[in-house]
Amino acid sequence: MRLREFQTLIERIYFEKDSARGLDGTFRWFVEEVGELARAMRSGDQGALPEEFADCLAWLATMASICKVDLEAAAGKYAGGCPKCGKTPCECRG
């Protein structure tokens, strides 16, 4: 599934609810999911990782939709490598 297809799917499933909640409330749910991902990574729970990554991606997609941002187009920022040095892998210091 392409990123644009995923974002459209998440819109069909959740956009009405998420947009009614608003960006601030939706962002708080996203942060909670990031916390769940962090716990799974810290504990080494490999079984939980795919689900937690998926949840974070879904909340990120719905926030992008609320903000009218096409995630696939936005990801194009990295199509040419590192946005600062233009290299793959990045050769920036730090």
The confidence score (pLDDT) of residue 94 equals 77
Q: What angle do CA 71, 61, 12 make, to 5 degrees?
A: 110
**DSSP 8-state symbol, 54:** H
Question: How many C-alpha atoms does 44 have within 13 Å on its Cβ side?
Answer: 0
H/E element holding 25?
helix 23-43
Q: With cut-offs at 50, 70 and 90, classify the pLDDT of residue 6.
A: very high
The one-letter amino acid code at 54 reads A
**Using one digit for the tens of pLDDT, what is the confidence trace for 12-39?**
999 999 999 999 999 999 999 999 999 9
CB 26 within 8 A of CB 62: yes
Predicted local confidence at residue 63, as pLDDT? 98
CB atoms within 10 A of CB 62: 24
What dotted CATH number matches 3-78? 1.10.287.1080
- Per-residue pLDDT at 67: 98
Residues 28-80: tens digit of each pLDDT: 999 999 999 999 999 999 999 999 999 999 999 999 999 999 999 999 999 99
Q: How far is residue 13's CA from residue 16's CA, in Å, rounded to a whole number?
A: 8
